[in-house]
Amino acid sequence: MIITITMNASVDKRYGVESLLPGTAMRVSSCRNTAGGKGLNVTRVLRQLGADVLALGVTAGRNGDFIEGELDALGISHDFARAPGESRCCVNVVEESTGRQTEFLEPGPNIGIAVLDDFLARFSEALAEGAVVTASGSLPQGAPSGFYGDLASMAREAGARIIVDSSGAALARALSGRPDLVKPNLEEAGVLLGRRLEGAADAAAAARELIGFGAGSAAVSMGAEGVAYAWPGGLVRAVPPEIQPKNAVGSGDSMVAAFARGWSSGWDAERTVRFAVALSAANALCEETGAFRDSDLEELIPLVELEWMS
């Protein structure tokens, strides 16, 4: 079983407008609400891949009811700790004339020790069944910055492998727990390492450095330029074919889902990273976040180019 963790779940709202004009009243031409947060994007992709998945995390209020109801409708198992207040909303405004996207991300509820303890009890119980764990996104207010590091230590002690996809202090502190994979993008890796990163060579160097800081492996994503993936046995850059993306939001989460699926299936590094880049691109070809078409994925997998790096 794959366990996904979304500590700061959200209701994701996607608004379509002709052009975004600040300071004016905008009429939305299309609107879509989904259960969101990076971990739940991972969850939906894994479900579509046919994986046995359990969603854990924290929800709150009426928005939390909506999130859990959406998962119920998709037949996805979940076991959330409940917090006071309201789960956040995250709004993605898509300009139909340009394809440009602007996101508004609420902070989410401020959770306390009792909620964290409740979550940890659920996580500990789930680890008895889970072989792979994904921990994605920001931490809610009230959670310590080292929380993902604690989860990584718990997973390792239980014999499970864990992927952490976060940023800032949450990512930096996660390394102390020696996660099996971290997946920052180029900007996030640069913030962590304290320098500006540009291009594949910088991404590859960053991936190596992250292993030196405690990660078992590292995938530094570069959007349309692919990913630099380093592990103790090698370093490879995987590049997708050129596509015309419709919605790139959730592509990194799809990559995390692919790594989790590859690990749970016993795939080697080459097959896993090729699949990860293809699935990320397939997500970008869908208007829905955290989704893909099987036909796109099948077409893209053999088109991913691998460049082995020394």
- Domain coordinates in residue numbering, the chain: 2-308
The number of beta carbons lying within 10 Å of the beta carbon of residue 269 is 16
Whole-prediction pTM:
0.94
**Of the ranges 37-41, 147-151, 248-252, 268-272, which one carries the lowest mean pLDDT score?**
248-252
- Distance from chain centroid for Cα 210: 18
Collapsing DSSP to helix, strand or coil, 56 comes out as strand
Say if residues 131 and 156 touch (Cβ distance below 8 Å): no
CATH fold of 2-308: UDP-N-acetylmuramoyl-L-alanine:D-glutamate ligase (3.40.1190)
pLDDT tier for residue 233 given thresholds of 50, 70 and 90: confident
Say if residues 146 and 175 touch (Cβ distance below 8 Å): no
- Quick: pLDDT tens for 17-44: 999 999 999 999 999 899 999 999 999 9
Query: What DSSP character marks residue 246?
Result: S
CA-based angle 129:134:140, to the nearest 5?
115
Look at residue 288 in the predicted model and tell me its pLDDT.
Answer: 83
Collapsing DSSP to helix, strand or coil, 194 comes out as coil
Q: How far apart are the C-alpha atoms of 305 and 229, rounded to whole Å? A: 13
Catalytic residue list contains 296: no
CA-based angle 148:275:295, to the nearest 5?
125
pLDDT tier for residue 76 given thresholds of 50, 70 and 90: very high
Amino acid at 221: S
Q: Please name which of 130, 97, 103 lies closest in space to residue 38, comparing C-alpha atoms.
A: 103
What average pLDDT does the segment 134-163 reach? 96
Residue tagged 């502190």 (tokens):
173
What average pLDDT does the segment 251-258 reach? 96
CA distances from 63 to 8, 54, 179, 289, 290 (A): 12, 20, 31, 18, 19
Catalytic residue among 79, 253, 268, 294: 253
Helix ranges (H only) for the chain are 38-48, 61-73, 113-126, 147-157, 168-174, 186-193, 199-212, 251-265, 269-284, 294-300
Query: What DSSP character marks residue 185?
Result: B
CA distances from 252 to 83, 126, 167, 216, 308 (A): 27, 25, 13, 19, 21
Q: Which residues of 164-202 are buried (b: 16+ CB within 10 A; e: fewer)?
A: bbbbeebbbbbbebbbbbbbbbbebbbbbbeeebeebeb
Q: How far apart are the C-alpha atoms of 132 and 216, rounded to whole Å? A: 14
What average pLDDT does the segment 152-177 reach? 96
- Distance from chain centroid for Cα 91: 17
Say if residues 32 and 14 touch (Cβ distance below 8 Å): yes
Q: Is 80 exceeded by the pLDDT of residue 310?
A: no
